Structure formats: C-alpha cells, structure tokens
Amino acid sequence: MRKIGVALTALLVLTGCGENAGEGGLKDAMAAVSGDGPAAAYFEYGEPAWWRDLGVKAGAEQARRWLPASVSGLGSLATAAAALPEATGMTPTAGTRAISIGVPPQQAFRFDGDVDADAVRKKLAALGAKPREMGGHDGLSFSPGDEIDLSRAIVPGVTNQLNQVVVTDSLVATASAPDPLTSVLGGETTLADKPAHAAMATCLGDVAAATIMTPSPPSGTVTLYGVGLRRPADLNDRPVNVICVLPAASATADVERALTTRLTSTGTYGKHAPEIAHDRVSSDDHTVLRAVLTLNDTTNALFANQMLVRGDLQTLITS
C-alpha cells in the first residue's frame, strides 16, 4: 500500500466515510481460509504493510509501542520473524497481511504479498524439504505427516511449523500437517461464511490486528471472543482496542452485566484505559457485546489481546 493510500484510509476512518465495519482487511482475510477447520477455533490477523507504511520498525523510537502489533498474524512464528528470511527466504513482515489459524498441533500460517518463490524453494530444499502434493497443491515437506524432528532446527523457536509449505509468487502457507495447511489456503465454506464469525468481524470493525477464538475449554456462557486494534491514523495516536464477546443466548444478560460493571474506566482497568465505552452490535441474528478501550500513553497497544491470552477477559466475564 502506498503512503497516499494510508493517508486516504486514515482520513476516511476519521470522517466515518470508510468501508463498512469488518469489510476489507479482516473480513477478506477470513474469506481466504476454510471455515470447516482449525480457523474456527483460533484466527489471528495482522497487516504488516499498514505498519510499515506508518513507519513502524525496530529502532524507530516513536514507533516502539506499535511494534507488537506489526507482527500480529504471525502466531508462534512472531519470535522467529527476524531469522526466517535468511534461513528460509520467507519474509512475513514484508507481506501485505499475515494469518495464523488453529491451536497446536493443528496450526497453520499464511503470509500474502510479493514472494520470491524460487528463493524460498531453494532454501527449503537445501534444508532437506522434498517436493510433495498436499491437498491438490504442489509444495515442499520435511515429512509426510505431522512428525516433529527436534534435531532439525531451522531457526530458534521453530519446531514443526514449517513441516509442510506451499509457496507461490503471492503467498506462503505453512503448517505442521497437510490438513491445516489445506485449511489456511481456503475452502468451499470460508470463515467469513460462518454467521457467528462474520458477526465478530462486524463488531471488531476496521482493525489492523485481531484475534478471534472460541473458549477453551468450551463454555456454555460465551461462544466467541474477539479482540482487535483499530488502525491509528498517526504514530502519536493513543491506541484504541476493541473487545467483542458473543455470549450464548441464555447468558447474554449476565455477560453484559459483567462486562459493563467490571470493565470500566473507574475500576482497575481505568489505569490502562481512561476511556471505555460499551455497546451492542447486531448481525445475522447474533448480538455481540462490545467494549471500546482508548488506552493511555504507556499501556501496551495490544492490551486487549493480552487480556485474552492471559485469561483475564474470560475470568472477568465468568467469575
């Protein structure tokens, strides 16, 4: 995306004249993966191109607080992102978007953008990957199944996430096993076709980083959790986090009461978000409860994501 495009998008967001909530980035990404697989349990999304165009990079002091958001969508590969280009030819942070789906061992990753496919293939082949067809796609694989060879250290922190790889001039898809790899490449029914997930995308709106997941273990109280980071128009903006909760129909009143009385700017969370607003979002017969948090100048830009990963959000609602 060119910088003029970033400026125009920011203007549209500020004036309220942008695309419909959830359309474009997030919803398009959900439409790119299968809804009948691991993405239904966990879906993480990020836009490296957006953050690059804003000037978010290592060493840029003004951009430091936004750095965690710049690797959103990489999942467990985020910590290895800096080492991947030299070792594998893959440069996830140079793409337009990043997607990770599923939970171990059913994980898969996808990076869209301009790809030097020949370079990736050569480096993987040199590491021992063999040509193999996976779900109708030509790819490379270190083993035909989901075996983990701990003696093969491609880069620190990477075990079998790169076991199966499909690479083209416009994307790289990787997974530990063929089935999740096929899922991250799409399907007849996509994640965007699932009404509950589509409602969650509508609730999150125009975000450049997001995570949507089911409760684990399954809950009779909540169907889906979603958190996201709204696009900042400028590096000096205060981060705006969005929390969306899709409750079970029978638990809507209790979940809404917990959110609106416990997640407030006058309580514990006010130290991080001096402005917290609550509302409801309706979509396809689903009612999603939303909290919009405007963070202070020091809180991590992915504060809502931290709440979800640590289990704080789940505890707040169900305790």
Residue entry with tokens 């985020």:
78
pLDDT along the chain (319 residues), means of 10: 35 36 75 96 96 85 89 94 94 94 94 96 94 87 76 80 94 93 95 97 96 91 97 93 96 96 94 97 94 96 97 92
Pair 281, 204: CB distance under 8 Å:
no
Please say whether the dihedral angle defined by the alpha carbons of residues 72, 200, 212 and 275, taken in this order, is positive or negative: positive
Distance of CA 160 to the CA centre of its chain: 20
C-alpha span between 182 and 255 (Å, rounded) = 36
- Is the pTM for the entire model greater than 0.95? no
C-alpha span between 232 and 55 (Å, rounded) = 12
Distance of CA 149 to the CA centre of its chain: 27
Q: In this predicted structure, what is the pLDDT of residue 19?
A: 39
Q: In this predicted structure, what is the pLDDT of residue 150?
A: 67
The tokens for 157 are 């922190």
C-alpha span between 50 and 201 (Å, rounded) = 18
Pair 134, 93: CB distance under 8 Å:
no
Q: In this predicted structure, what is the pLDDT of residue 102?
A: 97
Q: In this predicted structure, what is the pLDDT of residue 318?
A: 86
Peptide bond into 217 cis (omega under 30): yes
C-alpha span between 236 and 228 (Å, rounded) = 19
Q: In this predicted structure, what is the pLDDT of residue 174?
A: 95
Residue entry with tokens 């989901």:
146
Pair 201, 27: CB distance under 8 Å:
yes
Among residues 241, 245, 239, the alpha carbon closest in space to that of 289 is found at: 245
C-alpha span between 83 and 233 (Å, rounded) = 30
Q: In this predicted structure, what is the pLDDT of residue 267?
A: 84
The three-class DSSP label of residue 279 is: strand
Element (H, E) at 278: strand 275-283
Among residues 219, 194, 178, the alpha carbon closest in space to that of 319 is found at: 219
Q: In this predicted structure, what is the pLDDT of residue 61?
A: 77
Other residues' Cβ atoms within 10 Å of the Cβ of residue 125: 12
Q: In this predicted structure, what is the pLDDT of residue 153?
A: 74
Residue entry with tokens 């590096």:
235
The tokens for 90 are 């893959």
The tokens for 129 are 């990957």
Question: 202 exposed, middle or buried (CB, 10 Å; 0-12, 13-18, 19+)?
Answer: buried
C-alpha span between 201 and 219 (Å, rounded) = 21
